[in-house]
Structure 1
Amino acid sequence: MPGATEQKIIDAAVRLFAAQGYDATSVQEIVAAAEVTKGALYHYFRAKDDLLFEIYRLLITSQSADMDRIIGLGLPAAETVREILVSLVVSTAERVDETAVFVRELQRLGEERMAEFRAERRRYHETFLAVIEKGQADGEFSSVVPADTVVRIAFGVVNQLPMWYRPDGAKPPAVLAREIADFVLAGLR
């Protein structure tokens, strides 16, 4: 977890990147919004794109840890799917600006960071896929829809949240998360 100063810088970057875009945001604007010096920013981040990567890294690290914790509980497949989806939707909705910034600015990552991003995302997908496949193999889920299609549909919905979800909207994250999990599980039964 970042320290207080580092978190202030990250939070300022998220707000500015979300409001005006990565290219339109200067390092000077970030340090002014964070109320730190340029030296403080460069102490934690070599360049502005390091901030972008850190926004993603913190989000995916938290989501992966939640998924690993849920799988470690050894619940039946349906409960595992429900818990993973609820956790993923809630964390995405609660951090919708971070998610939106990262999705919109993903192409800014260099080759090495893009490879790291893809590897962690693949691990998340493959772990969730294994839960669905096991549920299908054990007869808990229908096999009518292939597991990889279920994963693509579920994550496709989550990946689109930044496009339409509004924190001040009618549904709080927990309600939306339960509804999405119910939808996916209904398709698996």
Structure 2
Amino acid sequence: MAEATRLFADKGFESTSVQEIVAAAGVTKGAMYHYFDSKDDLLREIYARVLRMQIERLDRFADAPGPVADRVHAAAVDVIATTVENLDDSKIFFRSMHQLAPETQKAVRAERRRYHERFRDLLVEGQRSKVFRDDVPADLVVDFFFGSVHHLGTWYHTDGRLSGT
């Protein structure tokens, strides 16, 4: 998985061959096919892994006790930090969606929507309790925030002058 992720992020899913993956991983094609039915299965697992991690982490922040402003801040910082820590996964996630099978695309979009809605619900909680201003719709805030996060892979570099946190 690690080598496939690195190669997909560096070269793109379509430009990476199964032979390149197994050579980089130091395994045989038979070993890879023991765990994954195809290169597409590797891509699907990358999406599943990212979504599982992000949803589990957001649920922990959203369900934690404490002021909503602290929970939103912690969740927002975590999204940025985990995106930077998993930059290859993030690059793949946002540029290879069209490579997934239609039913997988639909499932990924539904999970992503559920994730964004959970984040939005935190903002709405803050707006209702007058902690956050309510003249900007929470959906717009979520779209702007995640739009910015989704593009980290295009401009953020681990050796750049800014840290991920």
TM-score (norm 1): 0.84
More moved, 98-107 vs 85-94: 98-107
Which residue of 2 is the match for residue 106 of structure 1?
Answer: 97
Q: Does 1:82 align with 2:73?
A: yes
Q: Which amino acid aligns with 1:132?
A: L
Q: In the aligned structure 1, how far is the partner of 2:144 from the partner of 2:14?
A: 31
Distance 2:124 2:65 in 1: 15
1:126 aligns with 117
Cα distance, 1:75 vs structure 2: 2.2
Runs (4+) off by over 6 Å: none
Q: 1:100-136, CA deviations, whole angstroms, 9 ceiling, x for partnerless residues?
A: 1221111011111111101110111111111111111
Taking the aligned partners of 1:116 and 1:75, their CA distance within structure 2 comes to 32
Give the AA of the match of 2:148: V
Counterpart CA distance in 2 for 1:98 and 1:135 is 31
Give CA deviations for 1:1-51 in whole Å, capped at 9, x if unaligned. Answer: xxxxxxxxx111111112222111110110010001111111111111111
**TM-superposition CA deviations, 1:48-83 (whole Å, max 9, x none):** 111111112111211111111111212212111101
Tell me which amino acid in the other structure corresponds to 2:24: A
Deviation at 1:152, TM superposition (A): 0.6
> What letter corresponds to residue 112 of structure 2 in structure 1?
R
**Matched ranges for 1:1-189 at <5 A:** 10-174=1-165
Q: CA RMSD, aligned part only?
A: 1.0
Alignment check: 8 A CA contact 1:56 1:99 kept:
no
User: What is the total number of aligned residue pairs between the two structures?
Assistant: 165
Identity of aligned residues (%): 45
**Separation of aligned partners in 1, 2:110 and 2:11:** 29
Asked if 2 retains the 8 angstrom alpha-carbon contact of 1:31 and 1:37, the reply is yes
